[in-house]
């Protein structure tokens, strides 16, 4: 199967997810700072492929059924992989972050299910809303903040109390719930439990 550039970028994003997780979790580097910087670099490259594949596909009319299916799936892999890696690696956030991760995963799976039902019943592809795009940005920002906070802000309010991490976690949860509610309200008409 010959893949166009956007689809290749999507597959690269999927391949980078386990590499990112290994960089985060495995004791490869002696320094925690080096580990965080390497993981951050991989995550940024992974996030850039997410931005580029859609732009290239729309600009050059390279939209395919494969891309429509795999691109959102690759996004879920990217976010879920990062959330799980953070839960394993940073135990100082775990009591709060486990709930944030659960909310994000539940929302993503619920919205994906509604999209699949709409596609099956009405052959309708649900485009990302502005709320969905802000939600995605909030997730990426939160993950980056959690990884980089002690590196770029190496003083007490951030190294001991993790202020930036908690603020971005709260914003991520808020946007995740709001955008999820908006999707469900808009597309609930496709859920027909009697059929």
Residue 15 confidence (pLDDT):
94
Residue from 75, 63, 53 nearest 6 by CA: 53
Domains of the chain as residue ranges with CATH: 5-189 (1.20.120.1760)
How far is Cα 178 from Cα 123, in angstroms, rounded to an integer? Answer: 26
Report the range of poorest mean pLDDT among 53-62, 103-112, 113-122, 157-166. Answer: 113-122
Residue from 134, 132, 6, 129 nearest 70 by CA: 6
Residue 1 pLDDT grade (very low, low, confident, very high; cuts 50, 70, 90): low
Asked if 16 contacts 40 with a C-beta cutoff of 8 angstroms, the reply is no
Residue 60 confidence (pLDDT):
86
Residue 122 confidence (pLDDT):
58
User: What's the average model confidence in pLDDT over 97-114?
Assistant: 93
How confident is the prediction for the chain on average, in pLDDT? 87
How far is Cα 104 from Cα 98, in angstroms, rounded to an integer? Answer: 10
Residue 38 confidence (pLDDT):
95
Residue 103 has pLDDT above 70, yes or no: yes
Greater model confidence, 122 or 149:
149
Residue 152 has pLDDT above 70, yes or no: yes
**What pTM did the predictor assign?**
0.89
Residue 184 pLDDT grade (very low, low, confident, very high; cuts 50, 70, 90): confident
User: What's the average model confidence in pLDDT over 59-73?
Assistant: 82
User: What's the average model confidence in pLDDT over 74-89?
Assistant: 94
């Amino acid at each position: 199967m010959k893949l166009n550039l956007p689809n290749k970028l999507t597959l690269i994003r999927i391949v980078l997810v386990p590499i990112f997780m290994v960089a985060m979790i495995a004791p490869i580097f002696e320094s925690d700072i080096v580990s965080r910087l390497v993981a951050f670099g991989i995550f940024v490259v992974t996030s850039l492929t997410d931005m580029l594949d859609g732009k290239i596909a729309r600009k050059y009319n390279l939209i395919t059924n494969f891309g429509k299916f795999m691109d959102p799936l690759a996004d879920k892999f990217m976010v879920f992989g990062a959330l799980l890696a953070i839960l394993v690696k940073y135990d100082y956030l775990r009591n709060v972050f486990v709930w944030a991760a659960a909310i994000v995963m539940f929302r993503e799976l619920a919205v994906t299910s509604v999209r699949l039902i709409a596609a099956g019943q009405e052959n309708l592809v649900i485009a990302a809303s502005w709320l969905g795009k802000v939600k995605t940005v909030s997730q990426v920002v939160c993950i980056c903040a959690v990884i980089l906070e002690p590196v770029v802000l190496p003083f007490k309010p951030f190294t001991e109390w993790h202020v930036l991490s908690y603020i971005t976690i709260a914003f991520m949860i808020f946007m995740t719930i709001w955008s999820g509610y908006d999707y469900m309200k808009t597309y609930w008409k496709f859920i027909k439990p009697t059929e």
